[in-house]
Structure 1
């Protein structure tokens, strides 16, 4: 037997070990919620050259490998000489399924596969009001698509739980998600300002999610919309505003009023003193105040002792410049 024939079984054994290299898989979060990010890990025997590692990913039921060109949310990365990852951002319900990895290069092998479960939250919610001809109200609360089918819907009216007059139904949409619709029917006419709340609990929510609706009827009385104490506050505020305006107006009027002690101008041409009648008292006072002319002793009896005639004052025309 030749040496090549002796080495052939060993070569076949080595090649078989290379082809059937063990490839393991694990997932960072097996039960995820839509909108989150998950990472698939693929581990394999250590490669000597990281550039020679080729890893493909595919989902059970697909005929082609996954590619970032098909969906930008997918990120493919070779982490080391013995591991690779697939990251999916912003999960959707359709991303749920079993994922596999395939390693090619120095070693070749397929992963065992791992399942990803994606749950969906019933949020957001919306309330659709419908009024009948007689004024009664029907509130319709709708959820978005959710999964799994474990939910509870409750109604409140003005912070009071409502148990009668409600009805809830659920159905499956084309994506495989559940959608719930709940009805609250009022038997009495609705009043403006009444608040209705639809609250939904689900396994994907830490706290229940809710949406509210406030009744607003056109043409309803304004008094039904606000409590009595608001009107008292408005009246007090209006009274204070009026008082402040009156005080400001009084101060402005005082500032604009003319002063009593203002001095008036006097025309110089009109201020000439007019002699008084000799018989008047003021004439005597004026004479006593003025010095008497000196008397010549030699004049004797020729001196006229009669009082001098007063000079008649000629009335002057009023100067247009004088006030």
Structure 2
């Protein structure tokens, strides 16, 4: 687990545990779950097992990340949302919620409420569901400016949440300070990020070997892209061919000049 992941876990756990238990008889654990988009999430809700003859019901409510924790929306069961034990939860003492094919819109705080016949409704302390999507493999783009300035852009996209860390690294040459990371967020919540590095004119590009490093909550290890400034093979062959043609042209001009001089010398001698 990387440092970003650990920090998010600590912050969310602190927030969730700071809220007192509504009733200790309903236990939701762990207080934070982090799942990937498209995966399945199981939000646990445990309570003392009861007589199966006793009537009761389990309901779930959700608070969206941008809303106050007192704002609850009921979760209708069916489709992607179902109970782990829909028929026997009273005897099992388990009202856990199963969410299939999780989307980033499912993120929020979920509360489990248990109501037994002729008993007071009891509520758990909440489970924070954090949904993420992994960033794409970063790509590096090169652009040469009018004043021979070189711009390198490292780009990644498709990640959620939008908090991301990007950096340039080179073990050979000290690099200029890059510009701040630019993040664009689409209407569906998916983000794209660019990290731009401007290399001034005269920068030793031929010695440049550089890496773009991407860190995100969803990544156990950072993603990397490598760039080295070098001629592609076909360009190198073309460059050598031009050199050979220039040498041949020089030889032809030299031979033509020598032939003309010899002809002039012979005519001068004959006179």
Decide whether the 8 Å contact of 1:37 with 1:88 is kept in 2. Answer: yes
Q: Who is 2:13 aligned against?
A: none
Aligned equivalent of 2:112, options 90, 98, 101: 101
2:29 pairs, out of 27, 30, 33, with: 27
Deviation at 1:99, TM superposition (A): 1.0
2:90 aligned with 1:83, yes or no? no
Cross-structure match for 2:224: 210
**Aligned twin of 1:66:** 76
CA 50–213 in structure 1, closer or farther in 2 if over 3 Å, else same:
farther
Give the distance between the partners of 1:188 and 1:220, measured in 2 at CA: 22
For 1:75 and 1:45, the matched residues in 2 are separated by 20
**Stretch deviating more after TM superposition (76-85 or 25-34):** 25-34
Moved more, 203-212 or 43-52: 43-52
Structure 1 residues 29, 63: CA separation in 2 closer, same or farther (over 3 Å shift)? closer
Structure 1 or 2, whichever has the larger Rg, is 1
Cα separation, 1, equivalents of 2:206 and 2:216: 32
Query: How big is the shift at 1:90?
Result: 5.4
Alignment partners' CA distance in 1, 2:42 and 2:167: 34
**Rounded Cα–Cα distance in structure 2 between residues aligned with 1:51 and 1:28:** 28
Match of 1:198 in 2: 212
Structure showing greater relative contact order (alpha-carbon pairs closer than 8 Å, 6 or more residues apart): 2
Equivalent of residue 129 in structure 1, options 124, 131, 142:
142
- Partner of residue 46, structure 2: 43
Deviation digits for residues 122-177 of structure 1, max 9, x if unmatched?
62233333343566532211333454747352233xx6365215222344736778
SS in 2 for 1:54: strand
Work out the number of aligned pairs and report it. Answer: 201
SS of 2:219 mapped into structure 1: coil
- 1:113 is aligned to 2:125: yes
How many angstroms does 1:96 deviate by? Answer: 2.8
What are the ranges of 5 or more consecutive residues in structure 1 without an aligned counterpart? 1-19, 226-323
User: Could you give the per-residue CA deviations for residues 38-72 of structure 1, whole angstroms, max 9, x where no partner exists?
Assistant: 42222234332279553221202454323332xx3
